[in-house]
Amino acid sequence: MTASQRRDLPGARRVVVKVGSSSISGANAVNIQPLVDALGAAYARGTEVILVSSGAIATGMPYLQLTSRPTDLATQQAAAAVGQNVLIYRYQAALREHGIVAGQVLLTAGDLENRAHRLNARRAMERLLGLRIMPIVNENDTVATHEIRFGDNDRLAALVAKLIRADALLLLSDIDAMYTRPPQLPDARPIEEVAYGADLAEFEFGSVVVNSVGTGGAATKVSAARLAASYGIAALVTSIDLVSQALTGQQVGTWFAPNPAPVEATITGAVHLATQRTAAGEAAQPAG
């Protein structure tokens, strides 16, 4: 069932949930269990959940004795190779009590641009879902390059939602909603809903930021949410602490209403635009 309003989420057939590095790595690794508990509850209701998770590089950093995010590509790839393994282990440990098995899916921008690779990825995820296995998707940082990458997993999540025909996209971060201005400013107000096609020029979302463990920011979430909405897929932006409330249709976060008459658009154009932005420096770090 296409989710046209928040209250439709509990009955959604298929939902993509994206979580950022800072929410599930370092001291915040404790968030994995409550996140998985909320996803497990949705599974128990019959919803198919695809998790798009950043955090491979951040999770791998301590094992490489790194105290800050590496800047050279080879070390980023090494940290991602180690961290992805640990990250999936943590997810599987949390999923075990729900009787759910995790299935790892690593994608590059090139995979979604190539029709054969794209169809293979869709077929694999469809089969995983049919077997009641939860796909956990991340950018394949061990082979992606600075020039050709998604740049952040918000865009990847929107494209995956399009690829597997999801009913809704949930973008989780450390902030409870989108705000009219950066939330630390005294006159910032939360935005409850964004109508499809609404002019957001009056709002100040800020540029993409890169912290010590991840990439992304308010601007990338707005961009990804609007991309999904253009495909007819509703998007909700909220914090990881509110994931359970979000999936049960409560009034949390910022709701991006879907296009009521979506035009059948290609994924390749969106991937090309994302990689162009990354190459131009909008988000030069790997998403993992």
Please report, for residues 37, 93, 96, the alpha-carbon distance to residue 34 in angstroms, rounded to integers and kept in the order given: 5, 12, 13
Q: Which amino acid is at 206?
A: G
What distance in Å separates the CA atoms of residue 284 and residue 89, rounded to the nearest whole number?
28
Contact assessment for residue 37 and residue 51, using Cβ atoms and an 8 Å cutoff: no
Contact assessment for residue 156 and residue 52, using Cβ atoms and an 8 Å cutoff: yes
Tokens of 191: 């935005």
Residue of 189, 175, 184 whose CA lies nearest to 241: 175
Q: Whats the size of the chain, residue-wise?
A: 288
- Please indicate if the annotation marks 241 as binding a ligand: no
Q: How many CA atoms lie within 13 A of 106 on its CB side?
A: 15
Q: In 3-state terms, the chain is what percent helix, strand and coil (to 5)?
A: 45, 15, 40
DSSP 9: G
- Please indicate if the annotation marks 114 as binding a ligand: no
- Please indicate if the annotation marks 221 as binding a ligand: no
Residue of 183, 167, 145 whose CA lies nearest to 285: 145
- Please indicate if the annotation marks 31 as binding a ligand: no
What distance in Å separates the CA atoms of residue 62 and residue 204, rounded to the nearest whole number?
35
- Please indicate if the annotation marks 18 as binding a ligand: yes
What distance in Å separates the CA atoms of residue 44 and residue 253, rounded to the nearest whole number?
23
- Please indicate if the annotation marks 153 as binding a ligand: yes
List, as residue ranges, the binding site: 18, 54, 141, 153, 173-174
List, as residue ranges, the binding site for substrate: 54, 141, 153
List, as residue ranges, the binding site for ATP: 18, 173-174
